A and B are shown apart, each in its own frame.
Chain A
Amino acid sequence: MNKNCPTEYNPWLHYFAIATAITTFLLLGLGGLVTSHEAGMSVPDWPNTYGYNMFLFPIGKWVGGVFYEHTHRLLASAVGLLTVILAVWLWRGDARRWMGRLGLVAVLLVIAQGVLGGLRVRWHMDNLGVFHGTVAQVFFILVCALALLTSRWWLQLSAERNWVSVPAGLRSLFVVTTFLIFLQLMLGATMRHQHAGLAIRDFPLAYGQWWPDTSPEAMARYNSQRVEVVTETPVTAFQIILQMFHRLGALAIFLAVTLCAWQARRQLGRRDGLARMAAAWHGLLILQIGLGIETLHSNKAADIATLHVMIGALSLVTGALWCVIAFRRSDATPKLAGNRANSGELNCPAVLALGGK
């Protein structure tokens, strides 16, 4: 194929990438449920399940926490399989070499993810759950990006190049904000993998103060009063401070995303796709903060806490994809009419297909 040709749109590849992304999102949710139900260690062995080959584990034994952990492992295997197929397809069927490489990275990530999850169980290291949760988010970004990059919309955008370019300042603002969200997710994952129940219950105050007392006497007092049904573990000062940072992080992110939405609208115009996306992002973050507060009020009801994880992942992905699109649109010189002939794209069949819009 002529390497100057724009990539041909392959609808099935694109749908397949979307299916992989959606399955990954469901897997994230199921993984969130495992942690919400404190079921991460309910299947003591790996890769076997209670001594059975995991695919032959009898359904009658999928009880209590085992149900979440086991279905998580099964769905994870499905995502692994989808990822491998997607990678092979990209490698062989996408003219962009780097797409094949991205597919390979996805495969490596999904393998790392499986091994991390397995070692967490085998080594009894709850802390690995934090990395497992973080890598999951990165992997999710990657498959969503693959779905975006294989879309007709993206290929058309790249071929036609008739965009309003996104100023560097605006791009940096979004990159920094997305990174803040990433840090917030890591903080959140660290909190969840303390397996200690909520370190602070009240909001916006914390133990009745703007900044809670974490002296040893205060900690002893909090713990002597604490009665938990699940995760009955003493709370530590570290955990309280972790949640305080998560709260401050939420405030910082909220302000940053508000600024992003406002600036995108101001600099790109209200009708620009990226401005709209930024507005939706803003809405997503308001929802996310509401869910965070509700997580506290519901004393960490498993469904609410899990939704908080899932919307958190969507917030991150929205920011990341915004940045990907913005960098695509960073070119300061929009394509002039007639360029196409000059760049040797004349004989490209895909252009004709795309141009037929």
Chain B
Amino acid sequence: METIVKRRIKQMIKGDQNAYEEIVELYRDKVFQLCYRMLGDRYEAEDIAQEAFIRAYINIKSFNQNLKFSSWIYRIATNLCIDRIRKKKPDYYLDAEVPGTEGLNMYSQVSADTARPEVELESLELRDEVQKQIAMLPEKYRSAIVLKYIEELSLNEISEILDLPLGTVKTRIHRGREALRQQLKNV
């Protein structure tokens, strides 16, 4: 796949806009998914994912063609998501109080749901719950976890995408996993 992509990129650099359409088709689902899991909102995810493709197009000449295009577009998308998260909403914290639930923090809210008997993994409700819990992760753990478990990328690729040393990526994944364990253990 990367060979086709490389050929299309060469055409793009020559100014052929149609060559880019094929690249967008190839990566749109993955990039959209990444943005959706990062932002938790479909409209915002579409907006940011499209912006990522536009930026990649504009800056294609600065793309190092020895790297994978996928890593590059993921990096642009992740950075845009993080910018959006920082600009728009304050981060959720596990001990933050939710209005109307004085005295209960997110932990106890989550554990209050435990009475629910066996839940089917496919149920919409559960999926929403898991998405909500992912969205509650601090953004630096969230990006690492999403790239690892939803985009199914290797630690090396994640380190390339996030432009972080491998050790830092591991730490973030470990902490992200521990946070998710706390949040999801009673679901």
Are A and B a genuine interacting pair, yes or no? no
